Amino acid sequence: MKKRLLSEMPKELNDKLSDSKLNYGKVLVYAQADMNEACDFCDSVLILCEDCLIFGKSTKTNNGHKSGKMLWNISFEDFTFDKYDLSVLSSPAVDLLVVGGIFRVNVESKEKVLCTFTNSCKGRVNKLCGILKDLLDNKEIIEERLSEEEHEEFCPKCGTPYPDRNRKVCPQCMDKRKIFFRLGSFFTPFKKELIIICIICILGSLMSSVWPLLNGTYLYDGVLAKNNTILPFSAFNVEDFFLLLLFLALAMAGTKLLQQVFGIIQGRLVAKIVPSVVNTLKKKVFSSIQRLSVSFFTDKQTGGLMSRITQDATQVSDIFIDGIPFILPNLFTIIFSCYFMFKTNWLLALTAIITLPPALIISVKLEPILWHYNSRQFQTSRNFRSKLNDNISGARVIRAFGKEDSESARLKAGSEYIADAQTDTMKFDLKFTLLYQITNTLSSLFTWVIGALFVLAIFKPQLSYGNLITFTGYVSLLSGPADFFSYIFRWWSSSMNSAQRIFEILDAHSDLQEVVTPIVLDDVKGKIELKNVTFGYEENRDVLKDITLSVKQGKMLGIVGKSGAGKTTLVNLITRLYDPNSGNIYLDGVNLRDLTFEQIRKNVALVSQETYIFKGTIFENIAYANPSASKSEIINASISASAHDFICKLPDGYDTLVGSGGRSLSGGEKQRVSIARAILANPKILILDEATAAVDTETERNIQNSLSQLIKNRTTISIAHRLSTLRDADELIVIEDGKITEQGTHSELVSKKGAYYKLLQIQSKALAMRGIGD
Amino acid sequence: MSEDILKHEEEKLEELLKINYLTPNNSVFRKTEGGFSALTFNGTDYGHVNLIRAFPFSAPDEFISVRKIDGKNEEIGIIEKLNIFDKDTVELINKQLEIRYFMPEIIKIISIKEEYGHAYWTVLTNKGTCNFTSAAGSSGAVIQLDKRVIIKDSSENRYEIKDISLLSQKELKKLELYL
């Protein structure tokens, strides 16, 4: 990925700044803002240098707000600059608002708002504020922080903003041809079939092109008018016109029959190709998804992930099957029809062609709207389904609160919405169909009328009756291809857009990369160290701040802290679901970044509060980490996890199907299954993240016992709300607001009478009140 | 010792569980140098405070949560009805709320162009002409509350139509498909 320095300023700004005769050190970060303190749109810039902060502001406000490239293309002509030495600045802050935020800083201890900004400018200003904060705290600024991945918010080519900021793809400028050919590669195994489809399509269009000729000129002018010369090959000089009529009838029937046969062959081939290609695409997307890091899933774009796997693949293959093969035949039909029409009577041909566009315009203009209505109808019924689903799965709550009536009112309203949407759609559909058909009928009527005038020889040259029939047959044949070409481009773009989305997943790089030459630990001991680890999911919002700790091999570390203090984040870092923003984590003295994922996963097992049970048998669920485990190993693990008893009591024992659709297990049972899973994995390092939070006290005791089996000879990191769980810990840390505030053994912390002691008192009192105290 | 802690915690808990209503009798708001509101409540000076609407859509002038600006943004109290305060205070608070809930108001819809599943809007607002892009078809981009409509663009910036019935037929037609 290309990196860009945060100090890179537009040339105009650089020039203007040099003209201003300000003295300033090396520029570190530059950020643009788009509003003034009164929330009027106004261009301004913040420039953070080694020794000062420069704030530049346009003297005029903007009338309106642009998006994309336009937003960043400002002239800096009328900018004035204010310089603030770092020595006079203190407590810079970005107040995030509902939209955008405020950047404020104390200048000589007086609060000052420099600018406000919309979300369009948020990222950079936030970054600048974070670095300014560290500069004022005299913290070292790592080089890495002063650059960012090249990510534009608008297409560099045409300047329109990216519709989806997480996808840096401009639908207008993406290289559709490249995508198309890449897609084509999925069809290469079916080259032969595709060629056959193309041939069949051409033959089919040939058949349909011949039809008007048979049905018009040959029938009326040839056979019925008993004019042998008009027929092809002069109909082998047969004079018996009844026989000729029979031939013609057979030829006509044959044409229709062949068309049907071609249709069947094509349908079969399509049925063979489409599912296979869609399947390949889906499989590829699926395996790519598994490769990606957790942050990919927490990004906003995952909402569409499901639809990408299912819909995009289908949409993409559709165009290859229903679109591309028909291009040639449609073209062929157009050429053939036009050839005949112009050959017969160019004047009439021109009039006929002139009447085509109105219907085309109607379909091009109105079809998208119809489509929109349809999608709205679809949306309302989807909403209704989810409402209904809520209602049925929440039946207990509804009864308990006596809300049956209001619920059915809610459903009724939803149902009415659907009805309205359906009515709207139908109304529009009718309007559209009517308009389209009237236009079509009128134009063909027009052709008929003009044609009739030719037949009656009012217009010259005279036209035979059969030729008129054939002629109008071709006119109506033309409307199909014309329609086809009017929407194939739109179809093509949207399919390529779908394809692009699929390829994006296929090409996505995981944020976490394995090093090229990983270090291989032959025998993992299980010593964990964290050195000055700082991490935040978002810039300028650190969840963990400067954490340093170490856990010796085979020891247990207990982590205590309120929810939101950063405990689970710590676990995410140790399991390398994320990399720290600064600082490092070491396993047996080796940086986690230098190990393979496989080594980390094999040696670190996690039992968390969110137990996940896969669809499958209990046996399979326990054997998840080690599918080759024997039955006796599984039973051993379940006994250690006190899961064996409850599993045996199930009618189907270890073969009980669980997960969606299967038998549902209680929270405690799930917990025990996941503990058994961890025992079987036999890791050197075990992480218990609120492992017993979801269960009752008695089960907790059982699980505690099984856990004490599990943590023997393992390095354990245990997070718990209930301090009683952590009694066996060799060392305890208390985390508050992302920082370690207390550290020591249980007795040390008790004698310290700090936060830990306070929590302990509260909990023992609370437990005593429930009659289950120590 | 342990009794003290427990008692203290219980008091704290009780304190936490009750709503502190801010009234002109117990609170004084003043303007900070940066133009924000600062609060003195029951004799304690909290300095610059955060103001949050509990019901930004249904009751923008009621139940305004006043919170500390730093740390965990703890709530100091709630203003049940803004209009019980004097004019200057209301103005000060409204000014800050306006910035927090910044939303240009759409006066006229100039065009909505849809392409590849995204809508490109051009609208005239009280802050001038704005161009933005929203994801079409996805729910959540357009929120409709009776007569009000709020549109979120792809950067989560917001735009507001105060009263949809004031739009012209032509504009309504353009908008209709997104409601």
Q: What is the pLDDT of residues A174-194, one digit of tens each?
A: 677 777 788 888 888 888 888
pLDDT value for A38: 79
Are residues B46 and B95 located together in one domain of the fold?
yes
Are residues B155 and B92 located together in one domain of the fold?
no
How far, in Å, CA of B108 to CA of A66, rounded?
16
Out of B98, B117, B120, name the one closest to residue A39 (CB): B98
How far, in Å, CA of A461 to CA of A347, rounded?
10
Contacts of B139 in chain A (CB under 8 A): 379, 383
Are residues B96 and B132 located together in one domain of the fold?
no
Instruction: List all residues 6 or more positions away from A18 whose beta carbon is below 8 Å from its beta carbon.
Output: none
Out of B99, B103, B137, name the one closest to residue A116 (CB): B99
Q: How far is CA A297 from CA A60, A141, A510, A534, in A?
A: 43, 30, 11, 22
A514 Cα distance to chain centroid: 24
Q: How far is CA B23 from CA B16, B20, B28, in A?
A: 18, 9, 9
pLDDT value for B85: 92
A449 Cα distance to chain centroid: 55
Residue with tokens 């203003």: B79
- Contact assessment for residue A660 and residue A615, using Cβ atoms and an 8 Å cutoff: yes
User: A369, B36: Cβ pair inside 8 Å?
Assistant: no
What amino acid occupies position A690? Answer: E
What value of ipTM does the predicted structure carry? Answer: 0.86
- Contact assessment for residue A4 and residue A127, using Cβ atoms and an 8 Å cutoff: no
Comparing alpha-carbon positions, the chain A residue that sits nearest to B153 is: A163
Query: Could you say which residues from 119 to 158 on chain A have a Cβ atom under 8 Å away from some Cβ of chain B?
Result: 119-120, 153
Write out pLDDT tens, residues A730-767: 888 888 888 888 888 888 888 888 888 888 887 777 65
Closest CA to A682 of A708, A710, A707: A710
Are residues B85 and B137 located together in one domain of the fold?
no
Out of B5, B6, B177, name the one closest to residue A372 (CB): B177
Q: Say what percent of chain B tops pLDDT 70.
A: 92
User: A493, B139: Cβ pair inside 8 Å?
Assistant: no
Q: Kindly report the nearest CA distance between residue B123 and chain A, in angstroms.
A: 9
How far, in Å, CA of B104 to CA of B158, rounded?
7
Strands A52-58 and A41-49: antiparallel
Out of A39, A164, A497, name the one closest to residue B99 (CB): A39
Q: Residue A621: which H helix or E strand, with range?
A: helix A618-622
**What is the band of A301 on the pLDDT scale with cuts at 50, 70, 90?**
very low
pLDDT value for A300: 43
- Contact assessment for residue A255 and residue A298, using Cβ atoms and an 8 Å cutoff: no
Q: Is the pLDDT of residue A437 over 50?
A: yes
Write out pLDDT tens, residues A353-369: 888 788 888 878 887 78
Identify which has the larger pLDDT, A78 or A291.
A78
- A260 near B CB under 8 A: no
Give the total number of structural domains in chain B: 2
Q: What is the mean pLDDT of residues B117-139?
A: 79
User: A97, B129: Cβ pair inside 8 Å?
Assistant: no
Q: Is the pLDDT of residue A622 over 50?
A: yes
Are residues B7 and B95 located together in one domain of the fold?
yes
Highest mean pLDDT among A307-321, A419-433, A434-448, A655-669: A419-433
Write out pLDDT tens, residues A156-173: 666 666 655 555 666 666
- Token pair for A607: 């039992």
Cβ-based contacts under 8 A for chains A and B? 129
User: B6, A761: Cβ pair inside 8 Å?
Assistant: yes
Q: What is the DSSP string of A690-732?
A: STTTTS-HHHHHHHHHHHHHHTTTSEEEEE-SSGGGGTT-SEE
Q: How far is CA A86 from CA A89, A112, A137, A393, in A?
A: 5, 14, 11, 59
Are residues B27 and B90 located together in one domain of the fold?
yes
pLDDT value for A169: 64
Are residues B47 and B90 located together in one domain of the fold?
yes
Write out pLDDT tens, residues A378-396: 778 877 887 888 888 788 8
Closest CA to A739 of B75, B71, B74: B71
Are residues B111 and B135 located together in one domain of the fold?
yes
Contacts of A35 in chain B (CB under 8 A): 102
Q: Is the pLDDT of residue A306 over 60?
A: yes
User: A62, B56: Cβ pair inside 8 Å?
Assistant: no
**What is the band of A627 on the pLDDT scale with cuts at 50, 70, 90?**
confident
Closest CA to A56 of A43, A73, A44: A44
**What is the band of A540 on the pLDDT scale with cuts at 50, 70, 90?**
low
Question: SS3 breakdown of chain B: % helix, strand, coil, rounded to 5?
Answer: 25, 40, 35
Q: What is the mean pLDDT of chain A?
A: 80
- Contact assessment for residue A172 and residue A300, using Cβ atoms and an 8 Å cutoff: no
Q: What is the mean pLDDT of residues A647-652?
A: 87
Write out pLDDT tens, residues A664-686: 788 778 888 888 888 888 888 88
Instruction: Give the residue from A37, A40, A89, A99 with the most B CB atoms within 10 Å of its CB, the best one to mutate.
Output: A99
Q: Which residues pair with A616 in a beta bridge?
A: A658
Are residues B32 and B71 located together in one domain of the fold?
yes
pLDDT value for A510: 66
Instruction: List all residues 6 or more positions away from A740 whose beta carbon is below 8 Å from its beta carbon.
Output: A547, A548, A549, A733, A734
Comparing alpha-carbon positions, the chain A residue that sits nearest to B7 is: A762
- Token pair for B143: 């929120």
Of B43, B66, B100, the residue at which a domain comes to its end is: B100
Q: Kindly report the nearest CA distance between residue B84 and chain A, in angstroms.
A: 25
Q: Is the pLDDT of residue A773 over 50?
A: no
Q: What is the mean pLDDT of residues A402-407?
A: 85
Write out pLDDT tens, residues A574-602: 888 888 877 889 988 888 888 888 888 88
Contacts of A123 in chain B (CB under 8 A): none
Instruction: List all residues 6 or more positions away from A634 whose beta carbon is below 8 Å from its beta carbon.
Output: A619, A622, A623, A654, A676, A680
Q: What is the mean pLDDT of residues B71-86?
A: 87
- A381 near B CB under 8 A: no
pLDDT value for A162: 64
Identify which has the larger pLDDT, A62 or A82.
A82
**What is the band of A253 on the pLDDT scale with cuts at 50, 70, 90?**
very high
Out of A35, A99, A171, name the one closest to residue B156 (CB): A99
Q: What is the mean pLDDT of residues A253-264?
A: 90
The runs of H, that is alpha helices, within B70-145 are 87-100
Q: Kindly report the nearest CA distance between residue A492 and chain B, in angstroms.
A: 11
Contacts of A758 in chain B (CB under 8 A): 5, 9
How far, in Å, CA of A168 to CA of A414, rounded?
37
Cis before A461 (ω within 30): yes
Ranges assigned E (strand) in A405-527: none
How far, in Å, CA of A238 to CA of A67, rounded?
76
Contacts of A112 in chain B (CB under 8 A): 33-34
How far, in Å, CA of A326 to CA of A199, rounded?
10
Q: What is the domain extent for residue B38?
A: 3-100
Q: What is the mean pLDDT of residues A72-95?
A: 85
Are residues B18 and B95 located together in one domain of the fold?
yes
Q: What is the mean pLDDT of residues B10-24?
A: 79
- A37 near B CB under 8 A: yes
Identify which has the larger pLDDT, A316 or B162.
B162
Instruction: Give the residue from A41, A60, A67 with the most B CB atoms within 10 Å of its CB, the best one to mutate.
Output: A67
Q: Say what percent of chain A tops pLDDT 70.
A: 87
Q: Is the pLDDT of residue A1 over 50?
A: no
Are residues B90 and B127 located together in one domain of the fold?
no
- Token pair for A282: 């889906």
- Contact assessment for residue B58 and residue B77, using Cβ atoms and an 8 Å cutoff: no
Instruction: Give the residue from B10, B133, B178 with the most A CB atoms within 10 Å of its CB, the best one to mutate.
Output: B133
Identify which has the larger pLDDT, A7 or A90.
A90
Closest CA to A605 of A740, A518, A707, A696: A707
Residue with tokens 């900070």: B32
- For A643-660, give one letter per residue: b (16+ CB within 10 A) or e: bbebbeeeeeebebebbe
**What is the band of A421 on the pLDDT scale with cuts at 50, 70, 90?**
confident
Out of A110, A753, A761, name the one closest to residue B33 (CB): A110
Out of A111, A171, A758, name the one closest to residue B33 (CB): A111
Identify which has the larger pLDDT, A431 or A379.
A431
Coil, strand or helix at A38? coil
Closest CA to A349 of A485, A438, A454: A454
Identify which has the larger pLDDT, A540 or A606.
A606
What is the DSSP-derived secondary structure letter of residue A642?
T
Out of B6, B98, B128, name the one closest to residue A65 (CB): B128
pLDDT value for A94: 87
Instruction: Give the residue from B1, B2, B106, B114 with the most A CB atoms within 10 Å of its CB, the best one to mutate.
Output: B2
Contacts of A372 in chain B (CB under 8 A): 114, 177
Instruction: List all residues 6 or more positions away from A467 whose beta carbon is below 8 Å from its beta carbon.
Output: A216, A217, A221, A344, A345
- A19 near B CB under 8 A: no
Identify which has the larger pLDDT, A227 or A89.
A89
Provide φ and ψ at A2, rounded to 5°: -75, 140
**What is the band of A302 on the pLDDT scale with cuts at 50, 70, 90?**
very low
Are residues B79 and B110 located together in one domain of the fold?
no
Of B100, B135, B162, the residue at which a domain comes to its end is: B100
Comparing alpha-carbon positions, the chain A residue that sits nearest to B158 is: A99
User: B1, A372: Cβ pair inside 8 Å?
Assistant: no
B142 Cα distance to chain centroid: 17
Identify which has the larger pLDDT, A698 or B28.
B28
Of B67, B100, B133, the residue at which a domain comes to its end is: B100
Out of A37, A112, A164, name the one closest to residue B135 (CB): A164
Contacts of A110 in chain B (CB under 8 A): 33
**What is the band of B87 on the pLDDT scale with cuts at 50, 70, 90?**
very high
Write out pLDDT tens, residues B159-168: 999 888 888 8
The runs of H, that is alpha helices, within chain B are 2-17, 87-100, 169-176
How far, in Å, CA of A93 to CA of A125, rounded?
10
Contacts of B118 in chain A (CB under 8 A): 163-164, 171
Instruction: List all residues 6 or more positions away from A242 whose beta carbon is below 8 Å from its beta carbon.
Output: none
Out of A375, A493, A757, name the one closest to residue B137 (CB): A375
Instruction: Give the residue from A35, A37, A39 with the most B CB atoms within 10 Å of its CB, the best one to mutate.
Output: A39
User: B33, A112: Cβ pair inside 8 Å?
Assistant: yes
Out of A120, A162, A369, name the one closest to residue B157 (CB): A120
